Structure 1
Amino acid sequence: MAVSLLAREVSDLCLGKPALRSLSISATVGDALSALKRVGENYVSVWNCDHHRHLSVADMIDARSDECRCVGKVCMVDIICFLCKDENLSNPGTALQAPVSILFTRAPGLVRHLEPNASLMETIDLILEGAQNLVIPLEMGIRNSRKKLLQKTLSNSTLHDNRQYCWLTQGDIIRYLLNSIGLFCPTPINPINSLNIIDSHNILAVHYDDPASLALPFIARSLEMQTSVAIVDTEGKLIGEISPFTLNSCDEDGAAAIATLSAGELMAYIDCGGPPEDLIQLVKERLQERNLEQALELMEEDSGISSGASFSSSYSSSSDEEFRVGRSGRSAGYSARVVRRSEAIVCYPWSSLVAVMIQALAHRVSYVWVVQVDGTLAGIVTFSGMMKVFRERLRTVA
């Protein structure tokens, strides 16, 4: 039964998913920033569709689907990390004119296109091989009125060669597996320390008092790995985290915060409710000390460098976001957006696999930190590690 489950077509996981918003590969970093603010989404996909510039609507309708390819995706964290570089922080206006391709790696295999009839097993294999972004066509049913629909949706940047696409995430797959978890018993009720999925070697962590700039390469790496950066004390106990998910809800002035604050201060800066006034003032003072006048202007402008409303007021909640209540009992809200707090999601080595799956899905994260009873960080469990367990389970019963 489990084998037949993973033979199901991947289109079953795409029902109701929104079409991707997109940018051309010829766009700039500033264009990406404006698009993120305008559409109010976590990510914008980047497509190599320049051949469309010189085609009529009729020609675009007849174009082959393999001529237009998604080559990457961009989020606010990518822009913040880019602006954190010394040369860009001193002149952010010039930095925003750089091509958008500078924000993401174009390494082969990170972005993969899949047809709707691909099996779930094929999809899991691609993720375990290193694919980070899976792009699936949506069934549109527009044969009789496709020209009218094409003209209508061109301005919305969701249509590519007569098709709309969506992201398929690791969370989508784990949620699908959880719905049929009984087919994999007894594996899901086993403790995670017996399944060899606690990764204690690839932990991205910094100390509370370290400069936040030291965490910058870890933030970029955690975004790619779909994990987070742990904040630990001198005894190795987990205090919190710098999550790309949370940082993604900040404005571009988050770059100034990373450049001037400690890791612990940054954790508070990006936490729910927005940055405290004392930290905002501290960032401004340190920018002045370093003569980073343009970065200071970036913080003081209500609408940012790019055109459009400010990110804080224009951002709306999406399917990947939710209010979350931490130990203190206060809900996590930041302006018009919905964000997660910097409090880390944790489990123990003896927690069951199914319990950790439910915990991660409930908090909309793709990982859970593993700690000992005294709070010492022991490792991390990721969705890809969980998928490996289910894939191995199928090999043993096949």
Structure 2
Amino acid sequence: MITLNHVQKQFGGRVLFKDCSLQIGARDRIGLIGPNGSGKTTLFRMILGEESFESGEILIAKGVKMGYLPQEVISFRGDTVLGEVLKSVSTITSLQDKMKILEEELASIDDPKAQEKLAKEYGKLHEHYTLLGGYGLEAEAKQILNGLGFKERDFNRLTDELSGGWLMRIALSKILLQSPDLLLLDEPTNHLDLESLIWLENFLVNYPGAMVIVSHDRVFLNHLIDRIAEIEGEKIDLYHGDYDRYLEERENRREILEATFKTQQKKIEQTERFIERFRAKNTKSSQVQSRIKMLDKIERIELPKERREIRFEFPAPKRSGHRVIEVKNLHKRYGETVVYEGIDLTLFRGDKVALVGPNGAGKSTLLKVLAGVLDYDQGEVLLGKDVTRAYFAQHQFDLLRPEHTVYEELLSVATDESQTQLRTLLGTFLFVEDEIE
């Protein structure tokens, strides 16, 4: 379906791909992995024709439809949630628009002949709409939206009202509704709660087309993919099996490569010592020249660079009391919607709790109440002795200020740390100097 042959690509003076080859078949399920900045998104954009490359070729079978979910938040404005999703199937929405215009014209004229003419035209459009599965498509769009966490009442909400995370769900809904031959999904689980994640996983398990997925969710990949394409050393290495099998096979390949590298290095060193020792002796000149030629012909093994990994520890807090936080008879509502009605909760030092529940159940609201960033209507929230709180929001991206550099954003919340400490912390999270500023 799609073939990449020996593709070379530079980006900003840096070589991303030196010899990139990959085949994507009609039912392939491929996990695309590699360190941040290795070129995963660039590879998607080259396949889509949105990014050029220096040499090689990308062959795409005639008529192949592709659907791409980027990692960046997409902006949709001026339509309802359902209307925006249905826009992705342009033929259907075009017929809907024409039918709506005719409905308005039929309602506004009294001339019987004109009405009859418009009614016939409307009938033809309606028949075409039905044959294309227009009514079924709307039901399918609603089913996808429901699966990704939207309620019935959300379908007519304007997209302008939604946060970045919900806009990404709309973008994903549009792609799934189109049912393309190939899905290119860049971190599709980033903005999903557990319930929506499980739904998406089940949807993709039964998806009839091919997919290439970039994801840091190991379980998600294990359930969906049967091949791993790893960007390593400016090329792509293929592994058969799921993510866990890839880790085992990668370690095996690494051990074999290191052993072969050591053997080769030993042979090279022995040869170089022979050349150095007998270079000046005429009786050995032919042997020396033979060894020099042999060295020139050796295809030298290169070990892959060690990957940088995020390594950090949360600083040890001051020891708190045994009872960390207690919630008594908590009530909370948004307008007429009751979220909590008299809930109780106690957390003790050392507790590690997973908070789960359906979309809209109030998980984020409870975290905000516990963090002290949201008021409640009734009840008590009691902190234990020497307890400090920190809160990481679900849609943290919405809270960041895009006009700030990475360093400035960190500086805005760090009051006591020195510049050196802050830069060291950013380095721990793999930010390099030009990214910090």
What's the TM-score bracket when you normalise by the shorter of the two chains? under 0.3
* Relative contact order, higher structure (CA 8 A, sep 6+): 1
Q: If you compute each CA radius of gyration, which structure gives the higher value, 1 or 2?
A: 2
Query: Is the strand fraction higher in 1 or 2?
Result: 2
TM-score, structure 2 as length reference = 0.23
TM-score, structure 1 as length reference = 0.24
